[in-house]
Amino acid sequence: MSYDISYNWLKELSSLANEYSSNIIQVAGGSALSTGWNVVLDELPFIDALCYSEGEKAMLSLLDSDDILNTISCDPWVTIDKINEGYIPKPLYEDLSKVISVDYDLVDLKSYGMKEAFSPFLINKIKKQFFIVTSRGCPYKCIFCASSSLHGGKMRLADLDSIEKHIENLQSKYGINVLTIYDDQLLINKERAKKFFKILVKFKLRIEMPNGLSVAFFDEELADIMKEAGVDTIYLAVESGSERVLKDIIRKPLNLNKVHPVVKMLQEKGFFVVGFFIFGLPGETEYDRFITREFIKNVAFDWSFFNYATPLRGSELYNICVDNNWIDPDYNKIGSVDMTEYIINSPGINKEELKKFIFDINLDVNFVNNAAFRRGDYQIAKQSFKEVLSRHYEQPFAHFYLSKVLNLLDPGSDQIAHHKSEFSGILREDPQWNNSAIEFNLINK
Ligand code: SF4
């Protein structure tokens, strides 16, 4: 259970397994359980034990065990009996070098893939995608992040030899061509990061890092090595264009003055640069949102993603919201936090206005003022709009701007009329989209 939202599936699976046989020993794990262990064991009677913190060795000890009940009585397993005796779970931090080499012979690879993260450079041939986490933890303490409560605020790094061997194996055995890296803070040790990407060069993979990287650690040398290694898209976790929000609310050590030069340098080297932003943190004002919107346009990210601030269990934001009674009661139960909804009731933030703001800023910066389109990089703009349609075919602004860009690239294309007609069709069916098209002045353009 990686996220709260998976709780309902866990609940259903657990009762199905129990219907099948009450003799099955049920265990569960994942980061959302490590922050919600007490609630889950209380609510799900068929779960015998939860794995607190990291689970690789814990699962192995269970599989190797001759006496499972005895094994789950040991750390890092948590049981209801142990809780009743006042047990406080202790985290288990793996030696990452020893858990890098996952044996994919035990995995149904066809069921294990995921769509690559948003990018105009997705691989078109048959995709053999594998995932890796080369480090765990992060020394920072952004208010909305649960990383420090899961990993103790420290970084652990797997050694580069074990990673190299693992990727060699993935290549020779399975023909890997896409590597997705899910570290929280991949670049923090810059020398290691440079060595790591140098190692990756020889594998000729497409490399993606959809978790977002820190602006602070980029320099030209690192960017060049990343490019050579097969990185084409850089996701930057910027979060806000307001110094005040970054410093006083999120407490993220980011100097906003560095963002524009880094983005420009990356774009000049041919990277597609994506920014991640969060809105709706308690204390954020309309002005903070306004300057963030201007900041995004000035920096000219190739694409930007916007999320609601979500009080994840284990984050400081969660504690603040609980202490102040700011979580909507409908969502204050495990399994009910949906990250696509805004669930904080803090003073000064109107939910409907925030929702409308996020809806509009996406249309504004990614479509109406699309940076690639504005600078005449029409191929990139075209691929970006196509990528939106491959995920959300009913997005009329993508149809509209795709028809515009096709008109510039290939004026004879019959796709121009097709996308125009899709645009008009969606507007006829959906009054909300129609209003947005009027608001952004797209009708009769
Ligand atoms: S959001 Fe990123 S930088 Fe901030 S604490 Fe979490 S992992 Fe670290």
- What is the rounded CA–CA span in Å between residue 445 and residue 300? 23
Distance CA 25, CA 69 (A): 9
Domain that holds residue 398: 372-445
Q: Write down which residue in 325, 347, 369 finishes a domain.
A: 369
pLDDT digits (tens, 9 = 90+) for 114-145: 889 999 999 878 889 999 999 999 999 999 99
**Apex 396 CA angle, 394 and 401, nearest 5:** 130
> Residue 157: helix, strand or coil by DSSP?
strand
282 and 376: one domain? no
Residue nearest to atom 3 of ligand 1 (CA): 140
In order along its 445 residues, the chain shows pLDDT tens digits of: 988 888 999 999 999 999 999 999 999 999 888 888 888 888 899 999 999 989 999 999 999 999 999 999 998 999 999 989 998 888 888 899 999 998 899 888 888 778 899 999 998 788 899 999 999 999 999 999 999 888 888 899 999 999 999 999 999 999 999 999 999 999 999 999 999 999 999 999 999 999 999 999 999 999 999 999 999 999 999 999 999 999 999 999 999 999 999 999 999 999 999 999 999 999 999 999 999 999 999 999 999 999 999 998 889 999 999 999 998 777 767 887 777 889 999 999 999 999 999 999 999 999 999 999 999 999 999 999 999 999 999 999 999 999 999 999 999 999 999 999 999 999 999 999 999 999 999 987 6
Nearest-angstrom CA–CA distance, 121 and 271: 10
Residues 54 and 123 in one domain: no
135 in ligand 1 pocket by Cβ < 6 Å?
Answer: no
Let me know: does 165 contact 101? Beta carbons within 8 Å: yes
Task: Give the position, in ligand 1's atom list, of the atom nearest the Cα of 214.
Answer: 3
Cβ of residue 147 lying under 6 Å from some atom of ligand 1: yes
Same domain, 345 and 377: no
Does residue 140's CB lie within 6 angstroms of at least one atom of ligand 1? yes
CATH code, domain carrying 336? 3.80.30.20
Using the atom order of ligand 1, give the atom closest to the CA of residue 212. 2
Q: Domains in the chain: how many in total?
A: 3
CA distances (Å), origin 260, targets 263, 297, 337, 416:
5, 11, 34, 34
How far apart, in Å, are the Cα atoms of 338 and each of 7, 41, 260, 335, 352? 11, 21, 32, 8, 16
In a domain, 294, yes or no: yes
Which long-range contacts does 242-246 make (Cβ < 8 Å, 24+ apart)? Answer: 242/284, 242/287, 242/288, 242/291, 242/292, 242/295, 244/288, 245/281, 245/283, 245/284, 245/288, 245/292
Q: Are residues 243 and 309 in the same domain?
A: yes
Do 80 and 109 lie in one domain? The reply is no
Residue 273 lies in a domain: yes
| Per-residue model confidence (pLDDT) at position 42 | 86
331, 346, 369 — which closes off a domain?
A: 369
Where among 318, 334, 369 does a domain terminate?
A: 369
Q: 3-state DSSP call for residue 236?
A: strand
Ligand 1 pocket check for 213: Cβ under 6 Å: no
Q: Considering the entire predicted model, what is its pTM?
A: 0.94
* pLDDT at residue 113 in the model: 76
Ligand 1 neighbour 93 (Cβ under 6 A)? no
